[in-house]
Every structure is written in C-alpha cells, then in structure tokens.
Structure 1
Amino acid sequence: MRHPEYQYLDLMERVLEQGDERIDRTGVGTRSLFGAMVRFDLSDGTAPIFTTKRVYWKTAVKEMLWFLTGQTNIQSLLKDNVRIWTDWPLATYRRETGEDVSQEEFEQRVVNDDAFAARWGELGPVYGKQWRRWMGADGREHDQIAGLVRALRETPASRRMLFHGWNVAELGEMALPPCHMVYQYHVTSDGRLNCLLFQRSVDLLLGKPFNCVGASALLLMLAQQADLVPGELVWVGGDVHLYLNHFEQAREQIKRQPRPFPKMSLLKRAASIDDYEIGDFQVDGYAPHPPISAEVAV
C-alpha cells in the first residue's frame, strides 16, 4: 500500500507543475490549484504528522488547545513558547508606530507587559472567539464547541455536527480571517468519529502540516469526550498554493521518501473538552527527515 503522505507530496508536485501563478494579497506571489482532497485513517492510532520534514507537533497541538480556550491574544501563546502568530501583530506594530523593533524584543514586551500585550498582542476575533463565543444577532454568545460535544453524545446521527469561524460581521476586525474554517463531524454506526475539514486558503508548505496535526488532536479529544473512537480525517482545500519563495523547499521535500507515521494518543481522560493540556498527548515512533525552513508570508 502506498504511504498516505504521498497524497501531500503529490499535491505539492501538482501545484508546482500545473498551478496558476499570480500575485496574492501578501505581494509575495503564489502558484495555486483550486480544489483538493486528501484522507487519513486514524483508526489504528496513527496520525498524519508528516515525516518528509520535521513537523513540530507540540506547537501545533498547543495552538489547537489555545483555540479551544477562546483566547485571541498572543501573550499566552508566547508564554507557552509558541511564536507562530507573532508575525501579524508585529507587522501592525511596526506599521503603526514606525518602530523597527526586532521580533524577539516585541515578543518579550508582550510577555512581560500586560498593558502592551492588551494593545499590541491582540489578534481580533479570530478562531477561538468564533468557536467559543460567536456573537449572535440577539446579543447572545454561542459556544459552538460545547454544542458539538453535546450533539456527538446525544444525536450522533445528526448531519448538523459542525462549527466554523467565517463570521462575516467580524472579518474586518481579524488579523487574519480563518483559513481552516469549517469542521464537520460524522459518527458511523460502529462508533467511529470522522472529521471533514474545509480549508479555504492553504499555505501548502508551512500551514497544511500544522493543520493536519491540529485537526487530528481535536479529533482525538472529541472522540474521547463522546466515548467514540477516532476514524478518518478528510481534508478539503480551496485555494491550495505554494508561495513563490517556497519552491526550492517544496522540491527538496518532494524528493524525500516518507517514513512510517507515528502514533498519537491521549494519556488520560480529561474531565471536559476544556481540560486538556499538552502533557496529555503522547506521540510515539516519530522519526522524520530534518526540518525545512521557509518564511511566512504576512
């Protein structure tokens, strides 16, 4: 059987060979395809933590746990040594103040100065806000995650078990509108929990590996909370692209041969979806190729 990671490598190769090239919002430029699907089976305990380059899976899981808290400020992320969201508030700070501060200095100020963090570390109503505190027209907040857990337990045959982050009224206030925007869930008659993730915009080299890890971690948590077992992760991409300055890295990764996927498991049962910590996750058998560095387009 062909290694499932080839779905990802083949997609990168198709983008390189067949993608439409254009200048994008960031000014860097992309080569992209529209519409793609890959599938990963998690039922045997494996997780799609890609092996053709090292994926920092703990960072991806910490990001997912941060989303679940409903927080939208990078201060708590930085205190947890997660720096993947710094680029956007840092760019805003430099633009609005004219101060050419280094990333390291900016991050230290966010960590050490609560007032500075409140002003400059805020991302606006991004993922966590929409997942846990969606503001309805009636002025009430709606917790989509709590509703999903309840539905998985009480009405597992429902076709309405999903959450999303594309709140049209608040898009303009977000540092970055949601890329992985819709998660839909499906429970089989024998108790397997499947997830379909629709991602409208996909940074194929940097973003997608993290999104697969985060979605897998969430699938494990939700399955445990609903007394189900993990099933399949189905990933669907809209605008699937490689940035023009990522081509060399993508070609290097495509040359590498995938190694066996690791196993991901939960070490204990958390009291609720809000009670998981990074120490609850264990990954065994991860032996990837070396990391491949590339710059984020902001």
Structure 2
Amino acid sequence: MSTDNQFDSALDLLRRLPPSEISKNLQRLCTIAPRLTEDLLSSVDQPLEARRCKKTGRDYLLCDYNRDGDSWRSPWSNEFEPPIEDDDGGTKPSERVRKMELRMGEGIDVYRELYYEGGISSVYFWDLDDGFAGVVLLKKTTPKNQGESGVWDSIHVFEAVEQGRSAHYKLTSTVILHLRTGGDKLGSLDLGGNMTRQVEQDMPVDDDGSHIVNIGRLVEDMELKMRNMLQEVYFGKAKDVVGDLRSVAALSTTNKVKASQREMISEWNKRDA
C-alpha cells in the first residue's frame, strides 16, 4: 500500500474510533506506521496538553505549531524546553511577529479570564513570505467530581496575507469537547467529539495593532457561533434522543398524557369536520 493510501486509511480509522481515545489511537498508529508520524501529527487535532514554563513559572499549551522535534517553545519566555542543541536554537518568529505574538497573548489571556473564568491560553505566531500566521489555543477543564468531568479545547489556526492597507484572513477553528458523568441513579454517559469550521475575510489594517484587533474579533465571533451550534444542535439532539429512550416520569403517567393528547386531537378533528 502506498504512503498516500496508508495516510487516508489512518485518517478514516481515526474518524471511526471513539473521540475520547484520539490521543492513544494516534500514538498507536504512529508506532505501526512511523513514516506517517509527521503528517498525522500535523493533520489530526487532539486534546491539548499543558506544561509549565521553567523560566517564568506560567502554564502554556502544547501543539504541533510550537513543537520542534521533541521540544516545545514557551510563548512566555520564547525558549524551547528542553533546549535544542543547534545553531539557531529552534525555529522562532521574527522580532516584529514576536511582538504581535506577545500582544495577542495578553489579549487572549484577558478574553480567557472573562469568558472561561479560568483555564489556560497560549498564542503562537510564525512568519510567512507575504504575511504571518498563528494559532490561538484555549483549554478549560472542570474539576473531577464523583465521576463527572468535562474538557473543552479550542484551536484557532489563522493566516494573514498583507495587501497594503488591508489583509486577507483565513481562520480554521476546531473545538474538541469531552463530557463524562456517572452515578447509581442515572448510569453513565460519555459524550465526546469535535467540530471544525472555517471563515475567510478581508479587513482594513492601519498598523500591527489592527491585526491584533481583527484576529481577536474573528476568534471571538467564531467561538460564539460554535458554542451556540454545540448547544442547539448537538446537545439538543442528544437531549431528544435520551428523552425518547428514557422517561423521567412513570410509564403509566406518560401513557395517560399521550392518551389525553390523542383524545383532544380527535375532538378538534370532529369539530373541524
């Protein structure tokens, strides 16, 4: 089987396996097919992991965009941990892009505290030939309480192509959600999955500060849309399914209510006739 066919088969297999086990299954596939490791790690979104910056003592998130080999760059110190033993010390953004990275990180940190009331956020930028790109990461984990847990991961990857007094932005956002609850009365429920959405937009630019405002607005709007979609579509559908499978009220009470509804509908039909 060719490498391309192996890669497509691996992605297809990951889509069919439980979302809550995506990290373990990805590691197993990389062990089975080492040649696909780089392509799989850069193509498959998995729950974010956190690490503490040794220099600043602040937590940051790990992803493929701040990884260089087996080292990860801290957005707070701009250094790789563990250190990379080569001439350049790992791939880092230019001075101008690094300044925007820091400003965006400060803004997202405030956004995280206001909207998430906790959690961890990280921002990473890198240079492009005609602009720059970056990723905004957000993670919130609820404290485990008697078998209940929840994890929300947001991954917003963007490209900004500068065109004089304007810029073309392309944003690809992924939300990974995993909820688990259990108890003697209600039983156990394990709900997990991910959603990806994309948007492109041209926006005016006066200076580097305009990029920060524009990207922040795009990320905020996309998060709001995806939260509403998850609440209305996914949770609403899950509630309907659970409601059809299991009734909180006694079966006799439910049957009486349905019988009353049928009787009322029958009386209305007779009047209309």
TM-score by length of 2: 0.28
State which structure, 1 or 2, has the greater radius of gyration over its C-alpha atoms.
Answer: 2
Bigger strand fraction = 2
